[in-house]
Structure 1
Amino acid sequence: MRFIHTADWHLGRYFHGVHLTEDQRQLLLGEFLPLVKESNVEAVVIAGDIYDRGVPPVEAVDLFNEVLTKLVEQRVKVLYIAGNHDSAARIGFGSQLFARSGVYVRGELTADLAPVVLEDAYGPVAFQLFPYMDPASVSNVFPKEDEAAPRMSYAAAHRFVIERARKVLPHGCRSVAVAHAFLAGGQESDSERPLAVGGSGNVPPAVFAGYNYTALGHLHNPQAVGRAQVRYSGSLMKYSFNEAQTDKSVSIVELDGAGEVQLEQVALHPRRDVRRIRGAFADILQDEQAYPASQDYLEIELTDQRRILGVQDQLREKFPNFMHVSWAGLSEAAEDRPVTYHGRTAQSQSDAELFGQFYEQMTGRALAAEEQAVLASCLKEIQQEARENR
């Protein structure tokens, strides 16, 4: 059995004020679908977080519909589950009808844990689909099975469900688990929504022991956890500047007749990368070799130790899609300068003197005469309003 494992598409994502749906469309239709065809796979597995929110924008739903339609036209089976960003009920809509076309969906956890069984040249392969589940959902589905269910941890809830699921696997059949969870030991980025507080949402990788392969979603960095056959494919695109150094990919999984797994990572190349650049403002604008003009989504860290007016307009001429500017140099300069004002000094200084001292410590220069005049005018106005409001 040869299939593609992907996850965390987050269709309809809104990133620093930009809708990414068009970028996602170009990546899925222009690169992902051709890869499916060229790779000669029999199935595509999507391990949750199809959408970025429970009620996705219409454009995101239309895009997913288009991708599913083209996969069915290629005679590729599709298996997908709801993630924690998805609405389980909405994801599960039409599941019985879709199954007739080879599209298998698990939106909500139910007591029916029967696997989806696909056939290849070696025989059956059982795919068990576990949508995102928390202790409360497990308790709701199995209320009489375990009186302790309401007090279950995430680990206990997953162990409880998966142990039951393994009992209905065909004997001797090769098996694949598909789940959306945070496995203990996994490497997070800052673009995942936490499943629980303080690590209580962690699930031990050993819970999935016994499956030939476990296709996971939730963590956005591609990685194996516990063993090579328990794997996160990573997200479709970079959804955080902390992911700037992480290449995105899908996993091509090949399961032989004995259940042995071979993995291949295939990189994805969105039309705009998510990157960080760092340097002095003048260098970034003028040095074309070190800082070539780009359409990428950028976070720009300026090392200048004095604030410069109008940087955003000038940067946008060269980098039209930059998203954020930070003044790393100001912070570093402030750390290097000793703070000299404190409560005792403040009692003997005027508001103007205190502000001037603070300004100099933050920027490295004293207020100019014109700036002092503006400050004096503002302070006078504030004091006048305070007297009137007494």
Structure 2
Amino acid sequence: MVVDSKLYDVLGVAPDASDAEIKKAYKKQSLANHPDKNPGDESAQVRFQEVSAAYETLSDPDARSAYDRYGEDGNAQGGAPDMDDLFASMFGGSSFGFGGPPPPRRAQDAVIPYTVSLEDLFNGKTAHFSLEKNVVCSHCKGNGGKPGTHPKDCVTCGGKGRVLEQRQAGNGMIAQSMAQCNECKGTGKKFREKEACKKCKGNKTVPAKTRLRLDIPRGAYNGQHIVFEGEGDQLPETKPASIIFELKQTPHASFEVNGIDLCAVVHITLLEALQGFSRTVLTHLDGRRLKVTKNKGDVVRPNQVDVVRGEGMYDSHSRGRRGDLYLRYEVDFPTNDWAKSADEKSLSELLPPRRDDLPEDEDVSIDNVSTKPSELTNFGTNQRSRAPEEDTYDNPGGEPNVQCAQQ
């Protein structure tokens, strides 16, 4: 038996109504009394607020149980103990999320993306920054008020640090949730305007400028975090936040990175692929030119890969350790114009002979086909058509469909 049925009466349901019945009644009442459907009708607006408040309590199993046992004003009349007061008496003022001002929180760390080149990561770099942050007010020592004054309960939230927010949820429904009070920043306390600190205006912190020197170590990597502990925003009686720089590497025109290994493409001519070469092939990330020698007879084939040990990225976590540099060769064939103008007899004397036809067979025909340029990425674009469905035969009796043997 409930001690108070007022909220049930507002929704027009019995005290033993199910959750589904309460929800259905709320939807009906809220639609009927919605301000958009009753413009200028103050009584409808009041009714709408009463319906929303009733549903908020009765839709929550714990809140409904407490209401059934102690009524709407049970806490004020001493019927049910206030959870905030109970936990405050047990744990020295901590409400553990059951209302009341939350404990002081550490200011949020600031993550700042910083764009760097692969050369910066390979060689290291130093950069300087001017930043603005919030620091504890030196005038009031983070108290927020004048000497001898004390903050009062926030009028907006009633000292709870949180307020009830309503928002449209579609279909005429109103969703409600608890949010931090903007007036007191969730503390539940606020100084009166004439008692607030003149420097910070009661905010307890003031903006201040700072300079930071960012030292990117040699061998840093994409996505690495460089942390400045305690250099971020401050809040009274809490540890200062940190400023975190996150390195974002831009793509490089010549090198790819995987771990601490590097890879680069080296273009060579057909003559170099066949006869060898000795020349500088690329500029490294520190400006050095790398010279590669291939002796005559060491034929370099397309996409062949060589490795140069110890010429990769530095390992910033292991002193002196470096990765490897992989070189992938691409053979640049002569142009069509060069091939047309070249002396065929001279080329025939220098290059291996053409291949012969496949072995002839009298039973095999030969078709002349034409070719066109394409890309291997087109391989597989032609798929078979959907197969027609096979014929099926119904057999209602469920017995095997067998025929008698001819006598």
The verdict on a shared fold, with TM-score over 0.5 as the criterion, is no
**TM-score, normalization by structure 1:** 0.21
* Structure index of larger Rg: 2
Structure with the bigger percentage of helix: 1
* TM-score, scaled relative to structure 2: 0.20
